[in-house]
Amino acid sequence: MYPKTKSSDPVVGCGKKSEQQKQTGDILVEVRIYCTADPKRKPVTGINVELKKDDANAGKGSTDSKGRVTFSGLDPGSYSVGLKIGPSLARLYDVDPPPPAQTKSVVGNKTTAYAFELRYYRIAFSVTYPDGKLAQKVDYELRLKKITGAQQTLDKDWSSYKTGSTTAEDYSEDYVPKGRYQLRLKAVSDVQLSKPQVTIGEAVDLSAEATGFDDGTAGSFEIFDARNLAKSMYSISANTAANALKASWTPDQSQLGSLKSGWIVAQAKVSSAQAFSPELKVVTKTEYDLVDKAGNNLDGRLLFHFSGGDQVDADAAGGKAQVLVPWNQTLTRIQVPDQRNSRVELQTDSGVQKFVQT
C-alpha cells in the first residue's frame, strides 16, 4: 500500500505547524515497459532505482510486481531519480541511450511521482503463400548472432535460438535478447521441370528451392499422376546444395506404369517440407511412315488427331513424321491441312502398317 496522504485527516484548515514537526515528502517511482508493436505499458519487476539529492546518494530500491518503489520521509528539496540497468537487463531493454535521470522537487506532505518507460524487444514473423494465406507447418530456425566483433559473418557465428513449425497464427515472442537474428525457413518451393512436357526416354532436369537445410540433406522428387496424389509412381533421390534440390530424370514407360491421366506432377521433398510442380503432360515420341496413293513418300505439314481429343501438328519429310503422342492415347486420324478433302488412313499391306493418303 502506498501512502494515502490525505485519506484520514481531511481538514487541515489553517492551523500552524510546530517548528519541530518537520514536514517530509515521499517519492513514488514507477517503471513500465512496452514495445512498438504493443504500446500497452506493463509493470516491470526488479529494476534498480537510485535516488540522489545534490549528487549524493539518497536511497536505493528495486521495483516490485507493480513496477514501483517508494522512498518515504524525505526532506523537501530537489531529488534526482535514475535507473541502474546492468548488462543482463541491457540485453532485454532498449537502453541505448539509457533513460535520463529525472529531477523533481519534493515538497512536504506530498508524494511526487516519477515515471519511467523502457522499450523491450520483440520478434514477429509470418510465412504466407503468394495469395496471402498463412503457411502452416513450415519448419523454421531462428538464429541469433553471437557477438564476435568479426567484420564478416560466417555460418559459425550464428547460434540456434529457437526452432519450431509455423501454426495458424503469426509467430511472436516478447522480451527477446537484443541482437541480430536470422530466420531460416526450412521450406521447399518453386518446383520446376526444365521442359514444358515430359517425353518418355528424354532426360528432364528437376529443380526446387530448398532453404534452411544444410548442404547434403537428403531429399527426393516424387512423381505423381496429377489426378492421383495418393501414391507416388516413382521416386528420384537428391541432396540439397546451395539452397536448392536438383536431379535429372529420364522417364521410361515402366516408371509411369500406373499413369492414367496422362499428366504428372513432381513433388520436391526434404524432411517434412514439400512442394509440388505445375502439371506436365507426358508424351511419347513416335515415328510414322506416310505415303500417298501411288506409294510415294509424303512431305509437308500434317495434323494428327488422337483418342483423347488432342491434335498434334507434325511435319512429314521423306515419308516419315515424328509425333509427340499424348500418353495412353491412340491415333484416330490424320489430316492434311493444305488439302481440304484429303485424309491419311492406316493400311496394312502384307503385315506392314502404313499411313496412306486417300
Partner 1 sequence: MLIIRHAQMDTLGGAMREWSIGLFVEYVEERFPVKVKALGPTEAWNTVRRAIVRAESYGMQSVEEIRGFLDLWFQFGPEFDTRQDAEGAFDALEDPDLAADVRLSLIAARLETAAANRTTKSID
Q: Which is nearer to partner 1, 7 or 159 (CB)?
A: 7
Closer CB to partner 1, residue 84 or residue 343?
84
Pairing of strands 197-199, 280-291: parallel
Query: Which whole-number Å values give the CA distances from 117 to 100, 177, 272, 358, in the listed order?
Result: 11, 18, 44, 93
Smaller CB separation from partner 1, 62 or 165: 62
Query: Counting beta carbons within 10 angstroms of the beta carbon of residue 63, is it exposed (0 to 12), middle (13 to 18) or buried (19 or more)?
Result: buried
Least distance from C-beta 94 to partner 1, angstroms?
A: 8
> In the complex with partner 1, which residue's Cβ is closer, 74 or 238?
74
CB of 39 to partner 1, least distance (A): 4
Q: Which is nearer to partner 1, 28 or 233 (CB)?
A: 28
Burial classification of residue 43, based on how many CB atoms lie within 10 Å of its CB (0-12 exposed, 13-18 middle, 19 or more buried): middle
Burial 216-243 (b: 16+ CB within 10 A, else e): ebebbbbbbbbeeeeebbbebebbbeee
To partner 1, the closest distance from the beta carbon of 113 in angstroms equals 4
Cα atoms found within 13 Å of the Cα of residue 45, Cβ hemisphere only = 3
H helices present in the chain, as ranges: 87-90
Q: Which residues bind partner 1 (CB under 8 A)?
A: 1-7, 10-13, 28, 30, 32, 34, 36, 39-41, 66, 94, 102, 110-117, 119
Q: How far is the CB of 66 from partner 1 (least distance, A)?
A: 7
* Least distance between partner 1 and beta carbon 67 (Å): 11
